[in-house]
Structure 1
Amino acid sequence: MSAPAPPPVDMCGPLNPVPCTFTGAEPAPPPAGEPAVTMRDIASFRPATPGNGMEPSGWAVIGLPANFVAAASVQTVPGTLLGRSAEVRFHPVGYRWSHSDGSVVEASEPGATWEALGRAEFSDTSTSHRYAASGRYTVALAVIYVAEYRFDGSAWRWIDGTLAVDAPPQPVLVGEFDTVLVAGDCNARPDGPGC
């Protein structure tokens, strides 16, 4: 099975959460007599709820980057569309993290763990965020999808517009962090410096 083709480059801006239209011709126009399908028509087809992860898990240090990672993938959902057997395929094209401190981080990629990026913990990433004050925060993630459809195994056809799907909110506890230097294992040497 071959990988699905990416959305056409003229589909819309990947970070645009409002419906958008093609600036060029639709790649595969519907055959004569077939109705044009809209985002409203596919309302009963929904991609799975995206994952909203972060590292460190659930906490952050004032002034240091916390790294946020979305879990979303291309998904094909079968069902009935306009009274016919159909499939709708969703492609994630944008990610928007809204932090309850008023900051918004937008990216065209879902982010990755520090390990996967080959970076040290608390390194800046394209999806990281630094909190300026301690407290309890919430991070809301919206994944922006474009969609295509097909009837009974016909050619895939793109649908104008985008769809935003919310992930469960991520609570974040932010505080200060103090480093303590010790001369060795405090269990073996409880009288050592720093123990």
Structure 2
Amino acid sequence: MCAFEGAEPEPPAPGEPTVTLRDIASFRPSVPSGEMQPAGWAVVGLPANFIGQGSVETRSGSLLGRPAEVRFHPVAYRWTHSDGAVVHATDPGATWDELGVAEFTATPTSRTYTASGRYTVDPTVVYVAEYRFDGSAWRWIDGTLSLAAPRMDVLVGEFDTVLVTGDCTAIPDGPGC
């Protein structure tokens, strides 16, 4: 059963072969991308926001010796963090601005680090696929295809805010300087 919008895969038309993910190996969606907020860094104890980017794409070519199209639909997003945490979502996430929330607000795709250090994040987009021969009806292919986006480096640190009464460069002995 296909996990996309509750659709049931149609059986192949009479005389049409059953197509598998292995059969469509030469058809691939573009390498997905990802981003994070803040870009490349995070603060211990505050959420860093991760956004995945994958889109519906159609590829044309030869499938089992026949002209065909294969269409890929992103259905899930995964961020694997080097500290062992994994964040799963069916939505790619969005920037804090797009969500209308303040910076460092927790989102369904965010991660809060508990220790300073250098981390990596491996974003992945999970796709389902469908195919059609010669303009026939689209037919789902059982299974999913996971495609990695480029790895992200994250520098996590502890930050303190300091209130000062003026310009510490001009008055280095001022309160808070």
1:193 shift after superposition: 4.5
The aligned residue for residue 88 of structure 1 is 70
Q: 1:172 aligns with which of 130, 133, 154?
A: 154
Q: Percent identity?
A: 65
1:194 shift after superposition: 4.1
Superposed CA offset, 1:69-91 (max 9, x none): 01111111111111111111100
Tell me, yes or no, if structure 1 residue 141 matches structure 2 residue 123.
yes
1:153 shift after superposition: 1.4
1:8 shift after superposition: 4.0
The aligned residue for residue 43 of structure 2 is 61
The aligned residue for residue 47 of structure 1 is 29
The aligned residue for residue 125 of structure 1 is 107
Q: What is the root-mean-square deviation of aligned Cα atoms in Å?
A: 1.8
1:100 shift after superposition: 0.5
Opposite residue 104 of structure 1, the aligned amino acid is: V
Tell me, yes or no, if structure 1 residue 71 matches structure 2 residue 53.
yes
More strand by share: 2
Runs of 4+ displaced beyond 6 Å: none
Superposed CA offset, 1:93-122 (max 9, x none): 011111001101000000100000001000
Opposite residue 112 of structure 1, the aligned amino acid is: A
3-state SS, counterpart of residue 115 of structure 1: helix
> Taking structure 1 as the reference length, what is the TM-score of the superposition?
0.83
3-state SS, counterpart of residue 94 of structure 2: coil
Q: 1:112 aligns with which of 86, 94, 112?
A: 94
> Taking structure 2 as the reference length, what is the TM-score of the superposition?
0.91
The aligned residue for residue 19 of structure 1 is none
1:134 shift after superposition: 0.7
3-state SS, counterpart of residue 142 of structure 1: strand
Tell me, yes or no, if structure 1 residue 36 matches structure 2 residue 18.
yes
Superposed CA offset, 1:117-166 (max 9, x none): 00100000000001111111000111110000111211111111100001
User: Equivalents in 1 of 2:151, 2:68: separation in Å?
Assistant: 32
User: Equivalents in 2 of 1:84, 1:8: separation in Å?
Assistant: 28
The aligned residue for residue 190 of structure 1 is 170
3-state SS, counterpart of residue 114 of structure 2: coil
